[in-house]
């Protein structure tokens, strides 16, 4: 643990909580009701008693054909929503045949270069009946438009589409690194997405502001929430500066957090996060609609806590993490597969991960009551303590001048690195137990055959791109790309010319390169984090 008698966030964690130890404090005195401001007990009055959370399994690898097959198998196994993983070139806005893409095509997600790949990815899947989350950030607008185009080809109107794009570029500068453009034009593009979706895809969640990747990089629970909500403040401010009204876009904001094995603190973390965000939206930004004040979030179990040693033990870790997310009131959940510390999940492992959620939802009694931890001395006290720590960190970022300035100064990155170092020291010293790694080890591991991606995928995609470019109307593509550049130089909403270019079979790389030509690319300062 982070210290004797401390939570992961460094706040006090007592061995016993009683009314006497808390000076007669009644933990139920300020609870409120589920579905009511400040939403400590959940964003909906009935929560899971009428329907469980969305079971949204994250998947994508190799070609669009292979990923399409995995999606269909997950749907057949009972998943309630798709979640698309894209390969690194796609995440960085490069085509598969670009020099920089060599060796990375299809490795950590599916390779998508054009509308042709997107058609294949969702072939046979009715986009009017499935909710889809796409983990894509810098080129989020491009992938969303491709999704819209494919849905319209299927006969589904854009106003019926439901899902989420991650679209959270600020956390890329802090913890993940798949940024393309500098912060200012990136925020402009995000504001354009907010406006476009308000007018064209109103049911779509336009951003999933993510603490998950910061947590995976080493952030404590309090840092994860504080830095995520600070990014959320920056997005709201950018949208307001662009002339949008807060209650027009705020209901479509969503969040993405991790669930660790420290179940009790995680439950408190989610409750505190809802409370803080609701106060930010109501008191700081004057949001009037209840949905503008709600923190709705997706959760993924902690990949960083999975081990390659004794990988089957990860099934237990994932079950505990999933319980923390559900007890904390998540709206959707991805459970990691037990073999992800070794390679991409095998079909059996992915199915077992989904079955973990189904057992919790349908075999336990968790869905029979709302917020079962309410009134617990320990959870309510930790919720209060975490809220105070979150406000403290947000205050520090405000003093610097907001999330963007703090990023430029390396504040969040340095804080996370310090926490990650302390965590690693705990494992190395044995103070922090990691089952199968520094305690309860075995001499010989059983042989495990991981899933392997076809190494020829890059060549296959390059051949597909050559055919695409040979067959399309090159003049129409060039004209459409020129419109994107003109819009980037002015203040026109970029998504309209981008959609035109993609419909003309421009590639993701070509669209992103048009923006690179105008905005340049982001290079972090050598001083950042120092």
Do the Cβ atoms of 353 and 318 come closer than 8 Å? Answer: yes
CB-based burial of residue 37 (10 Å sphere; 0-12 exposed, 13-18 middle, 19+ buried)? middle
- Residue 398's φ and ψ, nearest 5 degrees, are -60, -40
Q: Which two tokens stand for residue 53?
A: 């959370």
Query: What is the pLDDT, as a whole number, of residue 147?
Result: 98
CA atoms of 497 and 90, how far apart (whole Å): 20
> 472-489, pLDDT tens digit by residue?
999 999 999 999 999 999
Query: What is the pLDDT, as a whole number, of residue 23?
Result: 86
Residue tagged 């995440």 (tokens)? 91
In a domain? residue 9: no
Please determine, for residue 103, whether its predicted confidence score (pLDDT) is greater than 60. yes
In a domain? residue 524: no
Average pLDDT for the chain: 95
Total number of domains in the chain: 1
Query: What is the pLDDT, as a whole number, of residue 529?
Result: 43
Do the Cβ atoms of 301 and 261 come closer than 8 Å? Answer: no
Mean local confidence (pLDDT), 63-69? 96
> 423-437, pLDDT tens digit by residue?
999 999 999 999 999
In a domain? residue 235: yes
Mean local confidence (pLDDT), 70-85? 92
In a domain? residue 357: yes
Q: Which domain holds residue 276?
A: 47-429
Which of 145-149, 173-177, 210-214, 286-290 has the lowest average pLDDT?
173-177
Please determine, for residue 1, whether its predicted confidence score (pLDDT) is greater than 60. no
User: Reduced to 3 DSSP states, what percent helix, strand and coil does the chain have, rounded to the nearest 5?
Assistant: 50, 10, 40
Which of 179-183, 434-438, 444-448 has the lowest average pLDDT?
444-448
Q: Which two tokens stand for residue 89?
A: 């070139």
Query: What's the pTM value of the predicted model, to 2 decimals?
Result: 0.93
In a domain? residue 17: no
Q: How far is CA 255 from CA 232, 250, 392, 514, in A?
A: 9, 12, 20, 30
CATH, residue 116: 3.20.20.240
Nearest one of 338, 337, 312 to 440, comparing CA atoms: 312
Query: What is the pLDDT, as a whole number, of residue 444?
Result: 81
In a domain? residue 293: yes
In a domain? residue 375: yes
Nearest one of 111, 109, 130 to 60, comparing CA atoms: 109
> 331-353, pLDDT tens digit by residue?
999 999 999 999 889 999 999 99
Query: What is the pLDDT, as a whole number, of residue 81?
Result: 87
């Amino acid at each position: 643990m982070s210290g004797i008698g401390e939570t992961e966030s460094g706040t006090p964690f007592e061995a016993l909580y009683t009314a006497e130890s808390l000076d007669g404090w009644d933990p139920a005195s300020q609870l409120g009701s589920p579905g009511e401001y400040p939403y400590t007990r959940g964003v909906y009055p009935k929560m899971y008693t009428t329907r469980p959370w969305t079971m949204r399994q994250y998947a994508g690898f190799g070609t669009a054909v292979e990923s399409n097959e995995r999606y269909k198998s997950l749907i057949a196994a009972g998943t309630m929503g798709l979640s698309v993983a894209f390969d690194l070139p796609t995440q960085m806005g490069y085509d598969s045949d670009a020099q920089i893409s060599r060796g990375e095509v299809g490795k950590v997600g599916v390779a998508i270069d054009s509308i042709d790949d997107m058609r294949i990815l969702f072939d046979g899947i009715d986009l009017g009946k499935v909710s889809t989350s796409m983990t894509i950030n810098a080129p989020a607008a491009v992938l969303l438009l491709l999704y819209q185009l494919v849905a319209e080809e299927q006969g589904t109107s854009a106003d019926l589409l439901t899902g989420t794009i991650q679209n959270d570029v600020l956390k890329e500068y802090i913890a993940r690194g798949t940024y393309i453009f500098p912060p200012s034009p990136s925020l402009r593009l995000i504001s354009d997405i907010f406006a476009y979706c308000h007018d064209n895809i109103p049911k779509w969640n336009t951003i999933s502001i993510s603490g998950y990747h910061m947590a995976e990089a080493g952030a404590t629970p309090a840092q994860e929430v504080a830095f995520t909500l600070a990014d959320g403040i920056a997005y709201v401010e950018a949208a307001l500066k662009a002339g949008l009204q807060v209650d027009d876009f705020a209901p479509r904001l969503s969040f993405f957090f991790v669930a660790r094995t420290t179940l009790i603190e995680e439950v408190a973390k989610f409750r505190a996060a809802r409370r803080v965000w609701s106060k930010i939206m109501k008191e700081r930004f004057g949001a009037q609609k209840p949905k503008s004040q709600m923190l709705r979030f997706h959760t993924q179990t902690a990949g960083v806590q999975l081990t390659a040693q004794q990988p089957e033990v990860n099934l237990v870790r994932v079950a505990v993490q999933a319980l923390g997310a559900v007890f904390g009131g998540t709206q959707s959940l991805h459970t990691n597969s037990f073999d992800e510390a070794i390679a991409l999940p095998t079909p059996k492992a992915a199915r077992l991960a989904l079955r973990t959620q189904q057992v919790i939802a349908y075999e336990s009694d968790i869905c029979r009551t709302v917020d079962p931890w309410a009134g617990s001395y320990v959870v309510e006290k930790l919720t209060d303590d975490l809220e105070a720590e979150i406000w403290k960190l947000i205050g520090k970022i405000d003093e610097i001048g907001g999330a963007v300035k703090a990023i430029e100064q390396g504040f969040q990155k340095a804080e996370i690195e310090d926490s990650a170092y302390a965590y690693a020291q705990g494992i190395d010293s044995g103070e922090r137990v990691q089952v199968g790694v520094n305690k309860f080890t075995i001499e010989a591991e059983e042989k495990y055959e991981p899933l392997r991606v076809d190494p020829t995928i890059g060549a296959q995609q390059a051949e597909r791109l050559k055919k695409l470019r040979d067959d399309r109307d090159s003049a129409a593509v060039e004209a459409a790309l020129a419109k994107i550049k003109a819009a980037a130089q002015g203040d026109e909403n970029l998504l309209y010319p981008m959609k035109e270019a993609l419909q003309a079979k421009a590639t993701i790389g070509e669209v992103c390169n048009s923006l690179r030509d105008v905005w340049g690319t982001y290079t972090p300062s050598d001083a950042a984090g120092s």
